[in-house]
Chains A and B, each alone.
Chain A
Amino acid sequence: AQSVAQPEDQVNVAEGNPLTVKCTYSVSGNPYLFWYVQYPNRGLQFLLKYITGDNLVKGSYGFEAEFNKSQTSFHLKKPSALVSDSALYFCAVRERNAGNNRKLIWGLGTSLAVNP
């Protein structure tokens, strides 16, 4: 079955330290991969996506993610965390050959807390 796993419900980091939010997936073929962020009482905001090409993708707010095909992972990273990065982060995957199927397979989210 197709699935996305975010193995950590919560990640705590100190401000200024690097952060990683993990995502692994089980989807056939080479999927499209996405990261979104959700601040309290707000809608999701698109951060970045992997379509093809360079395995390291750069996105908004200084975030980047690395696609690892052999490990079927797409971990979100940032070199230096800010308190304002504290939010809920979602990984999502879509089959590459799904045609008009708009279904994204979503992870359950990881709550990131950046401590001052």
Chain B
Amino acid sequence: NAGVTQTPKFQVLKTGQSMTLQCAQDMNHNSMYWYRQDPGMGLRLIYYSASEGTTDKGEVPNGYNVSRLNKREFSLRLESAAPSQTSVYFCASSEFRQGNQPQHFGDGTRLSIL
């Protein structure tokens, strides 16, 4: 049981480059989330998807786009990377339950923008 799988684990980009962070879950969860984690800032929600075919902005969506390709996969795209997007990115998933909290997290993508 893999849970939530994120690829790649590490990536270095130059300013202006684009890339897509991949996330897949095998728990048949409806909800999926993208967070970024920065020192002194805690976790911040970038986008979430309540179910296949729907996406909504979180706290810090600027500079990002997402695609909920199917129930399993939720990708995050940086169209033109900026140094301020250097961070650790976490994907998470959850089933719909009272409280609606993310239950399972991937191990993160460590992204550096030069």
Q: A residues touching B (Cβ–Cβ < 8 Å)?
A: 32, 34, 41-46, 49, 51, 90, 92, 94, 100, 102-104, 106-109
Contact = CB atoms under 8 A, between A and B. Distances in A.
A46 to B, nearest CB: 5
Interface string B72-114: 0000000000000000001010000011111111111000000
Given A32-B99, A94-B99, A100-B50, A46 B42 contact: no
A27 B92 CA distance: 24
B4 interface: yes
Contact of A49 (B33, B43, B99): B99
A32 B98 CA distance: 9
Given A94-B101, A107-B42, A42 B58 contact: no
A51 B98 contact: yes
Contacts of A92: 43, 101
A2 to B, nearest CB: 12
A107 B103 CA distance: 17
Interface in B19-58: 31, 33, 40-45, 48, 50, 56, 58
25 contacts: A32-B100, A42-B107, A42-B108, A43-B4, A43-B90, A43-B104, A43-B107, A44-B102, A44-B105, A46-B101, A46-B102, A49-B101, A51-B98, A51-B99, A90-B43, A92-B101, A94-B99, A100-B50, A102-B48, A102-B50, A102-B58, A104-B45, A104-B102, A108-B42, A109-B42
Given A41-B107, A43-B106, A108-B42, A103 B59 contact: yes
A23 to B, nearest CB: 13
Given A43-B107, A51-B99, 15 more contacts: A34-B99, A34-B101, A41-B108, A42-B107, A43-B92, A45-B105, A92-B43, A100-B50, A102-B48, A102-B100, A103-B59, A104-B45, A106-B42, A107-B42, A108-B41
